[in-house]
Structure 1
C-alpha cells in the first residue's frame, strides 16, 4: 500500500435503511432507501458519494488550473445515479459532474475539467468501473 496521508472511518448498521456514523461523530445520520421511501426524506449513500466526489473533483479542477497558471473560480455538482445494471440484473452507479469554471474560455474550461478527471482520486478510483460524464461550463 502507498504511504497513507490520512484515513477517514465510518460505520453503517442495517444498510440502506439503517444508520451511518463517522468515527469523529461529524456525520451521524439515519439512512432511508429512496427506492422504498418515495417521499424522498432521509439521507442515502449516493448523497455521501456525491458530496465527497464533488469536493474532491473541485479541488482537482483548481489544482489543474493553477498548474496552467489560470486564475479561476469553480463549482462542481456531482449527480450520482443509482441505476439498474442490465449486464447482471443488479444495480450500478453513474455520475455526472457539472463543473462551472469562471475565468476561462469554453476550450480552457474543457481542458481543465478533463485534466482534473485524470488527477482526482475519486476519478481514479471509479475509472473503468462506472460511467462518469463531464459537463464543463465556462462562465
Structure 2
C-alpha cells in the first residue's frame, strides 16, 4: 500500500466531509446556495487531477516537457422513466499542447488505461473521453 485516506460524512449533503488526514471540506447541494463542494465537483476534480497527472507521467517518461490539460464535465441527470432516479453524465476532454491529435490520443488512451480513477470508472455507460486540440 502506498497511501490510504478515509472520508466520512455524518450529515445530509449540506455540512462537512471529514478526512482522516486533512481538514474538513464543506459540502452543499448542487442546486443550493452557499459555499461548499458537491459530488459532481468532487468526481470531476478527482478524475481531472488523476488523468492529467498520468498524462504528465507518460510525457515525462518520453522526456517531453509539455503542458497537458483535462476538462471534466459532470452533469446531474434524471432518468426519463420518471422514477425519480438520477445519474451522472461524465464527459472528459484531454489535450496536449503542441502535439498532433493522433499522437495526443495515443498518450491519452494510455493514460486512461493506467489512471486509477479511470480504472474505477471503467465500464460506466454514462462516460465519454475525447482527445481534443490544446
Q: Into which bin does the TM-score normalised by the smaller protein fall?
A: 0.7 to 0.9
| Cα distance in 2, alignment partners of residues 32 and 57 from structure 1 | 25
Give the deviation of 1:101 after TM superposition.
0.8
Q: Out of 113, 117, 126, which is 2:112 matched to?
A: 117
Q: Distance in 2 between matches of 1:91 and 1:54?
A: 22
Equivalent residue in structure 2 for 1:81, among 42, 56, 75:
75
Paired residues for 1:28-47 under 5 Å:
28-35=24-31, 37=32, 39=33, 41-47=35-41
Structure 2 CA distance for aligned equivalents of residues 50 and 115 of structure 1: 20
Counterparts of 2:34 and 2:95 in 1: how far apart (Å)?
27
Partner of 1:127: 122
Alignment length (residue pairs): 133
Q: How many angstroms does 1:69 deviate by?
A: 5.2
CA contact (8 A) 2:67 2:97 kept: yes
TM-score by length of 2: 0.81
Cα deviation for residue 123 of structure 1 reads 0.9
Question: Residue 93 of structure 1 aligns to a residue in which SS?
Answer: strand
1:32 positional shift: 1.6
Deviation at 1:130, TM superposition (A): 4.4
- 2-structure distance, mates of 1:34, 1:117: 27
Is 1:103 paired with 2:84?
A: no
SS at match of 1:15: coil
Question: What's the C-alpha RMSD, in Å, of the aligned pairs?
Answer: 2.3
TM-score with structure 1 setting the length = 0.79
SS in 1 for 2:103: helix
> Structure 1, unaligned stretches of length 5 or more?
none
Structure 2 runs not aligned, ≥5 long: none
